[in-house]
Amino acid sequence: MLLVIDYQMGNVGSILNMLKKIGCPARVSRDPQEIRQAEKLILPGVGAFDAGMRNLSDLGLIEVLNARVRQDRTPLLGICLGMQLFSRRSEEGVLPGLGWIEAETKAFSFAGTDQRLKIPHMGWNTVAIKPGEALFEPMPPDPRFYFVHSYHVVCAHAEHVAAVTHYGIDFCSALRCGNICGVQFHPEKSHKYGMQLLANFCRADG
């Protein structure tokens, strides 16, 4: 069973609505016992980095998540803040991240450049996919997705970058490191490409 982790960071309603629409049964839980039994995990999240880490810690989920993700290699999809929490640290906060991939989360900053871009990066933008990335099959070379964020993940290793988007700079809009996937955009609010991506994650062999 696919499990969406509810750690009180933003609503999970939209994700469940879309999973239902595409016929992927899912449960929502913050119970470590249920997380232990899940076949796949989704870590969503809207809000601040430290608040997200604090909630995971307060709910006693960090240990079970480490075990499931690092030892059991359970397929995991992080969405927005969920993806950022995989990194080691964020410029948004002081708490360490989950540290599952060698990456840091940095703020968009256009000060000192001639670019007058608004922060947060909000709206529809195109995503340039790394050839062969299974999350995005089959899609045109530059599908559009809905973004809302002020921070972005910088991977230490280029091979972990699964897709790139341009907003002032090229940033990592999707990552993959073994069983760990993350997307900076919101597939649950991105129409057919969002549905395709979630369906790909749900239906891929463990």
Whole-number minimum distance, CB 197 to another protein, in Å? 12
- Select from 47, 53, 3 the least CA-distant residue to 25: 3
Single-letter amino acid code for the residue at 103: A
Q: Using the rule CB under 8 A, give the single segment among 11-19, 68-76, 132-140, 175-183 that binds another protein.
A: 11-19
Looking at residues 89 to 148 of the shown chain, list those that interact with another protein (rule: CB under 8 A): 118, 120-126, 144, 146, 148
Among 28, 46, 154, 199, binds another protein (CB under 8 A): 46
Non-local (6+) Cβ contacts of 49 within 8 A are 81, 84, 85, 90, 92, 93, 95, 97, 105, 151
- Nearer of residues 6 and 87 to another protein, judged by Cβ: 6
What is the Cβ-side half-sphere exposure of residue 65, based on CA atoms within 13 angstroms?
A: 29
Token digits for 96? 């360490």
Catalytic residues: 80, 186, 188
- Nearer of residues 74 and 165 to another protein, judged by Cβ: 165
Non-local (6+) Cβ contacts of 84 within 8 A are 45, 49, 52, 78, 90, 92, 97, 105, 151, 152, 153, 182, 184
Rounded distance between C-alpha atoms, residue 107 and residue 203, angstroms: 33
Whole-number minimum distance, CB 200 to another protein, in Å? 16
- Nearer of residues 13 and 178 to another protein, judged by Cβ: 13
Single-letter amino acid code for the residue at 145: F
Is 189 an interacting residue with respect to another protein (CB under 8 A)? yes
Site size for another protein (CB under 8 A): 30
Q: Using the rule CB under 8 A, give the single segment among 28-36, 61-69, 83-91, 186-194 that binds another protein.
A: 186-194
- Select from 165, 171, 175 the least CA-distant residue to 133: 175
Whole-number minimum distance, CB 122 to another protein, in Å? 6
Whole-number minimum distance, CB 150 to another protein, in Å? 8
- Select from 140, 130, 141, 142 the least CA-distant residue to 181: 130
Contacts to another protein by CB under 8 A: 10-11, 13-14, 17-18, 21, 46-47, 118, 120-126, 144, 146, 148, 166-167, 186, 188-192, 194-195
